[in-house]
Structure 1
């Protein structure tokens, strides 16, 4: 349990640092850090529930996509301000590193396997964000449609 807490706090600190790097200020920086913590917590919970790596990345991306869109509406800022830095803890940097390392050492099969896994993780993240945006757009459409009846 304490390991999970340390990891979530570390994800928040990393997100805070990237938020500073991306020139995010004030309340947006706080919400960006919260989104980073939330993304890693969701990922860890999904992994503990036995979901695959890809599904854990997808679920975490949906959660932070929804969070960033809702907070962006409340704060009246672009959702990218919160979303981009919040995705940093999920970024599959290790997979890219091992893909390149195996490629340099001419271990082409391992390089290909790592590359495919990294591509699947990045695709899961992108699909999760797209799903979150589509869910909110559909919700808003239904809300307007019901009010016009």
Structure 2
């Protein structure tokens, strides 16, 4: 186990914040909402790197970080009276396994089918853990407050 320095934690937060901010702008999130989503992205990435640094598996670390991001998104959405997806989609970007998808395709092109299969399976499981974390928090939120799942009728 390596210990993360305060500098490394802060720099990772800043990089995740900026990447989330960029995608938030791309997704047309406006004003202070893009800042709130970016804080969620930075927070989720810090949770991930701290857990992964403690030798917790990558998949479990991403799952727990996704839960943190989803809870944060649910809370901030209620505070700002906005849809949860506005915050969750932007904030989850740092955890998306883009490099896994890239290297899977790279290995396919190189003809290393066994390595491509392993990378592809890991990427798929990471994507499933992200989807599971979001679904878990969303379901629990709707169980706790049943009014959230209903639409108002005119």
TM-score, with length taken from structure 1: 0.91
The residue aligned with 1:130 is: 135
- For 2:57 and 2:40, how far apart are their aligned partners in 1? 22
Superposition RMSD on alpha carbons, in Å?
1.0
Partner of 2:119: 114
- Alpha-carbon distance in structure 1 between the residues aligned to 2:34 and 2:100: 28
Q: May I ask how many residue pairs the two structures share in their alignment?
A: 141
Q: Distance in 2 between matches of 1:85 and 1:73?
A: 17
In structure 1, distance between residues paired with 2:145 and 2:51: 28
Deviation at 1:111, TM superposition (A): 0.4
Q: Which has the higher helix share?
A: 1
1:69-148 counterparts in 2 under 5 A?
Answer: 69-141=74-146
3-state DSSP of counterpart to 2:83: coil
Instruction: Flag as ranges the 4+ runs of structure 1 deviating above 6 A.
Output: none
Equivalent residues of 1:63, 1:132 under 8 A apart: no
Mapping 1:14-53, distance limit 5 Å? 14-53=19-58
Q: Deviations over 1:10-56 (max 9, x none)?
A: 00011011111111011211111100111101101211222111100
**Counterpart residue number, 2:150:** none
1:4 aligns with 2:9: yes
Q: Provide the C-alpha distance between the structure 1 equivalents of 2:104 and 2:53, rounded to a whole number of angstroms.
A: 26
- C-alpha displacement at 1:124, in angstroms? 0.6
TM-score by length of 2: 0.88
Q: Which residue of 1 aligns with 2:152?
A: none
Matched residues in 1 for 2:55 and 2:135: separation?
A: 24
Q: Structure 1: any 5+ residue segments left out of the alignment? A: 142-149
Give how far 1:73 is off.
Answer: 1.3
What is the distance in 2 between the residues matched to 1:82 and 1:46?
A: 23
